[in-house]
Chain A
């Protein structure tokens, strides 16, 4: 199929620690179509960020190590790609924005300087042309007085403005895929609404596909077309946003949705998943959610279920649905 932009197959990432080699991502498959917004949801330590970093080979190695799998971007394998080729892709065809805009901008360079760097590298624009491009990009992401802002430093901007600058920088070479790792987590709700609006608009006007990593199911409902739910390094459920949020199949997804306080049906008590997320290294052979699952059977503790289709384009990794 030609409309597949990114395909990840059987990805396995391990980390070398003092306790030995510990798996962080375990046989993850995913794909993103052109112009699609895919959400990856999960709690801390589930491997969602490591998965997203691995796509552009940004997992620090060592200690990280891609043990197995393929990452195909428009059919090209990125795992075996040379560093030179990766540099051509990074920023130009795939761009990334991170959670904390303060640490991802360089504090000693002006905003303009940092946006120009990307376009000068990839398009060989002249300084003047690159400058104009930077101003246009800042205008596009809704930054007031861009002509002055390009001469300012990151610390002179607020959190929301910095995240806009990050987005402007990421979008400056018109990438086909934007990977956004918790882009609004550090922002206040009113600013979050502005940024989500901006991302949706860019997706619609430029056709940029977005891979959105988040823990917030509200943000997912706002923005995503499809969702992947991860738990302890595995994909446990995937499907369309409506299917996942309205008709979740995996007990973990169900629990996650029920533990969010909801405005409209006020319950006295929240549902809560007992226990804690297992740390990598204490994963057993069976289903990794089994120790916390109310519906766990004997089989669940011994054998890992496969990801099976429960309805069209909706998969769940649970013995109950297979």
Chain B
């Protein structure tokens, strides 16, 4: 068997809810509940879902920025869940993250040069002169100039800051970049610039992306395969063309039908879901979606559907597609 580049098996992250005067555990929020997927080298896997579905928690748990409760994560065949903090830190040379808010993720008191140099210092790469050279290179790669190096983050626009964040992630020549909503804070015209940049960089440096976003059009544009999450669970995963054209899970169908198109002539059957997403502290029994599903059956209420392959490379967690 070919070794998988990045493999996640049964990842779980539960957050305890504490309450009462003794701070006892009152319950758990199942933010990520038994998620399994893999990413091939050089591909972009998109992860979509609505707020609170656990997509960001998944991203962070993969880099162990928050410790997963259970599950196995392996990177280039190496199990990283059991690594010590120090080993994990070294591991992160190859796995970097880009966050949503380019305002909050840059230190306002450091110059751009200092921000980009920091990962190099932390990992002990090069001497002063080489590091300065690398910073210039990085600025160049993301479309900024050496002239920007001495400036502070507040002197940049949102799009330029996101470029700086991307440059910082690239500083150590990583293999995998986890991008958590990298364009959602940006205006449409700037969003397109950053998406193009990400695609160019992927080609140039053979990067692998895990792209987390709530915007279905953006995810479709950039991804090769797309996974859909609902209440901490991965409910559907397929190649993007298949997923967007033939969604199988009733939630994916409703989600895709809700996206407004910038085309007044495009008429489509809209599935309006009733009610709100249940609280992740109180996930319904059985299939998490059964409370809002129009095709709900008796067994959906008691038995949780597993993510199974229902077509070539098309995984879905729904009892409708169980072969009986």
Q: Is the CB of B217 within 8 A of A262?
A: yes
Once bound together, how far apart are the Cα atoms of A194 and B276, in whole Å?
A: 10
Q: Is there contact, CB below 8 Å, between A245 and B191? A: no
- Tell me, rounded to whole Å, the shortest Cβ–Cβ distance linking B142 to chain A: 14
Question: Is residue B196 within 8 Å, beta carbon to beta carbon, of the partner chain?
Answer: yes
Contact of A263 with B220 at beta-carbon distance under 8 Å, contacts A219-B260, A276-B160 already known: yes
Task: Tell me if A270 and B262 are in contact (CB < 8 A).
Answer: no
**Does B258 belong to the interface (CB within 8 Å)?**
yes
A-B contact pairs, 21 of them (CB 8 A): A43-B187, A44-B187, A144-B275, A159-B51, A190-B254, A193-B257, A217-B262, A218-B260, A222-B261, A246-B264, A257-B262, A259-B191, A260-B188, A260-B262, A261-B192, A261-B195, A263-B220, A270-B196, A272-B196, A273-B193, A274-B193
A158 at the interface (CB under 8 A from B): yes
B255 within 8 A of A: yes
A215 touches B187 (CB 8 A): yes
Chain B residues with CB under 8 A of A188:
50-51, 214, 277
Contacting B188 at CB < 8 Å: which of A190, A197, A256, A266? A256
Chain B positions within 8 Å of A, measured between CB atoms, are 50-51, 157, 159-160, 187-193, 195-196, 199, 214, 216-218, 220-222, 244, 254-255, 257-266, 270, 272-273, 275-277
- The proximity string for A residues 238-258 relative to B, scoring 1 for CB distances below 8 Å and 0 otherwise, is 000110011000000001110
Chain B residues in 8 Å Cβ range of A273: 189, 192-193
Q: Mark A209-223, 1 if CB is under 8 A from B, else 0.
A: 000000111111110
Give me the 8 closest cross-chain CB pairs, A-B, nearest first: A218-B260, A261-B221, A259-B192, A272-B192, A188-B50, A193-B258, A217-B262, A43-B187
Q: Decide if A158 touches B276 in the complex (CB within 8 Å).
A: yes
- Count chain A CB atoms within 10 A of each CB in B160, B262, B276 and give the residue with the most: B262
* Least CB separation from B199: chain A residue: A269
- Chain A contributes a number of interface residues (CB within 8 A of B) equal to 46
A24 to B315, CA, bound (A): 51
The interface centre, meaning the residue of A188, A197, A221, A273 with most chain B CB atoms within 10 A of its CB, is: A188
Please name the residue on chain A nearest to B50 by beta carbon. A188
Cβ–Cβ contact A43 & B263, under 8 A = no
Given the interface pairs A158-B276, A190-B254, the reply to whether A220 lies near B189 with Cβ below 8 Å is: no
In the complex, how many angstroms separate the beta carbon of A212 from the nearest chain B beta carbon? 12
Please give 20 more A-B residue pairs, beta carbons under 8 A apart, in addition to A221-B266, A255-B189, A277-B157.
A43-B189, A161-B276, A189-B214, A189-B259, A193-B257, A194-B272, A215-B187, A215-B188, A221-B261, A221-B262, A222-B261, A246-B264, A246-B265, A261-B217, A261-B218, A266-B221, A270-B195, A272-B189, A272-B192, A276-B190
In the complex, the answer to whether B262 meets A218 with C-beta atoms within 8 Å is yes
The CA of A196 and the CA of B255, in the complex, are separated in Å by 15
B276 (CB) vs chain A CBs: closest residue: A158
Task: Known contacts A242-B265, A261-B220, A269-B196; decide if A276 and B157 are in contact (CB<8 Å).
Answer: yes
Q: Which residues of B contact A241 (CB under 8 A)?
A: 264
Residue on A nearest B48 in the bound complex, by CB: A189
- List of A residues within 8 angstroms of B262 by Cβ: 217-218, 220-221, 245, 257, 260, 262
Q: Closest CB-CB distance, B268 to chain A, in whole Å?
A: 11
Contact partners of A219 in chain B: CB under 8 A: 260
Given contacts A221-B260, A261-B218, A261-B221, whether A270 and B159 have CB atoms under 8 Å apart is: no
Query: Quick one: closest A residue to B292, CB to CB?
Result: A190
Q: Are B258 and A189 in contact (CB under 8 A)?
A: yes
